A and B are shown apart, each in its own frame.
Chain A
């Protein structure tokens, strides 16, 4: 037989086998609706837990980011300070502290404008602008992620003594705000780590136990297939495909549940006027992550359950 004909036959046999495995994977779901439902629900619950964990971690990091982004010191300068004196001070602060993200100089005029904005309009219209207090100041933004607790204490002390330097009038900073930010960051990190460990272990335990139970329920079927001459791949592949399909369905279900819950949560927050700006807790593309997570978990679960069983059976 010519080589190309042989190759063609081989390809057609592989295509036929792939079609058969896919058909069997789908058929298995229909043949075992209870097993399939339990499998999908287990995977979906695991994904929902992991999804909420992801959301929690993301929001916690976001919160700390925002908090640390807003963590700044205000150094009020002597109204008579020269531009050179202010520049020198900016340079010293920058050189002294790597944790300083940015130092911005604001003139007396800018301070006056800011103060005017803070006052009621009616009052500003009647008030002599000369009476509104104004003085130049430096805004010092800190990067909390670069700070450790020891450095934070040194920083508070250093800036606390800055008002004794010539040209500096007063330093305003919330040392308690730094501590809160640190506690939050530490708390979020340790709680997040603990929760992620528990949830990931629970999800894996869920999936592996359920798959084992499902494989145990199909023990007789697998034994019969082995007795009539099925190879291990012949048994395994449709089972993996079934796991992937279940995982995909679970991913979609988990996404819909999380999406629905966030929708309900946001809508009740809006009703209570607690949330005035539109926000989306589920970033775009999240559905893909849920699907991929589901498929991966489904494959992992079916793989582990089947490998163990096939290793023990003859």
Chain B
């Protein structure tokens, strides 16, 4: 198994001198499930932005699926993003498009035929229990349903990596577990999953490696779901 994500001494400094990441190093194996945790402002969201090439690191190297994010040309960024399924706390669904259309966009950008798109979206919606909502608009759905749609969109094109930024932040505990179960299910199927969250209780329901960030630095790693925190 190779490495899916590699951060080597990554520093990110925003204009105005704000230090978001400070010589951060972390890596993820293909097929791994990793939590990234830490208080607000620790740098969790910056990791997501760097992975998606929404920002470029000030220093250090980032490899995603063997692509060097730092040296990517603007024109190549969309092709990197097609390998990453992205899930946000606020769902980021297009409100004027139906559930079907929201899920279909990840396949439309790949240039698949309408027939292929119909078939694939149908399968994914069925898998996530959303088939009956296919023609509904996002504002007509509950928070849990909207997050399911976001997950469906993230997995529709079978990406090797899924990154989720506080995916349960807007959901009640029952729905949060439901969403996490879906993500672990995807991971069991071989997808690499990175979840940024500060919900310790939720993390402890699953046994997985977790990186704790503090002030943009790797403050330690441990395995969630165990009684004691193990420093690695």
Task: Report which A residues bind B (CB closer than 8 A).
Answer: 13, 16-17, 20, 31-32, 220-221, 223-231, 234, 314
CB distance from A200 to the nearest CB of B (A): 33
Verify A228–B105 contact, CB threshold 8 A. yes
Partner among A16, A17, A229 whose Cβ is within 8 Å of the Cβ of B81: A229
Q: What does DSSP make chain B's interface, helix, strand, loop or mixed?
A: loop
A225 to B81: give the CA distance in the assembly, Å.
10
Verify A231–B94 contact, CB threshold 8 A. no
A32 to B81: give the CA distance in the assembly, Å.
27
Number of A-B contacts (CB under 8 A): 56
From B29-37, B48-56, B127-135, B140-148, give the one contacting chain A.
B48-56
Give 10 new A-B contacts, CB below 8 A, not counting A227-B81, A229-B109. Answer: A16-B113, A31-B96, A223-B92, A224-B105, A225-B94, A225-B109, A226-B78, A228-B153, A230-B109, A231-B109
Contacts of A224 on B, CB cut-off 8 Å?
92-94, 105
Verify A229–B82 contact, CB threshold 8 A. yes
A229 to B110: give the CA distance in the assembly, Å.
8
Question: Counting CB contacts under 8 A, is B111 at the interface?
Answer: yes
CB distance from A95 to the nearest CB of B (A): 71
Question: Counting CB contacts under 8 A, is B11 at the interface?
Answer: no
Task: Report which B residues bind A (CB closer than 8 A).
Answer: 52-55, 75, 77-82, 86, 92-97, 105-106, 108-111, 113, 153
Verify B54–A16 contact, CB threshold 8 A. no
A303 to B109: give the CA distance in the assembly, Å.
21
User: Which one of A227, A229, A231 has the highest number of Cβ atoms from chain B below 10 Å of its Cβ?
Assistant: A229
Verify B109–A234 contact, CB threshold 8 A. yes
> CB-nearest residue of chain A relative to B97?
A31
Verify A228–B109 contact, CB threshold 8 A. yes
> CB-nearest residue of chain B relative to A33?
B96
CB distance from B100 to the nearest CB of A (A): 13
Given contacts A20-B108, A31-B97, A314-B53, contact A227 B79 (CB under 8 A): no
Contacts of A223 on B, CB cut-off 8 Å?
92
> CB-nearest residue of chain B relative to A32?
B96
Given contacts A220-B94, A227-B52, A229-B79, contact A17 B86 (CB under 8 A): no
CB distance from B217 to the nearest CB of A (A): 25
Contacts of A227 on B, CB cut-off 8 Å?
52, 54, 81, 86, 92
A230 to B94: give the CA distance in the assembly, Å.
14
Verify A314–B78 contact, CB threshold 8 A. no
User: Which one of A13, A225, A228, A234 has the highest number of Cβ atoms from chain B below 10 Å of its Cβ?
Assistant: A228
> CB-nearest residue of chain A relative to B108?
A20
> CB-nearest residue of chain A relative to B85?
A228
A231 to B76: give the CA distance in the assembly, Å.
9
> CB-nearest residue of chain B relative to A13?
B111
Ranked nearest first, the 7 interchain pairs of A and B with the lowest CB-CB distance are: A229-B82, A229-B81, A31-B96, A229-B78, A230-B109, A231-B78, A228-B106
Contacts of B55 on A, CB cut-off 8 Å?
314
Contacts of A314 on B, CB cut-off 8 Å?
53-55, 77
A17 to B110: give the CA distance in the assembly, Å.
10
Contacts of A234 on B, CB cut-off 8 Å?
78, 108-109
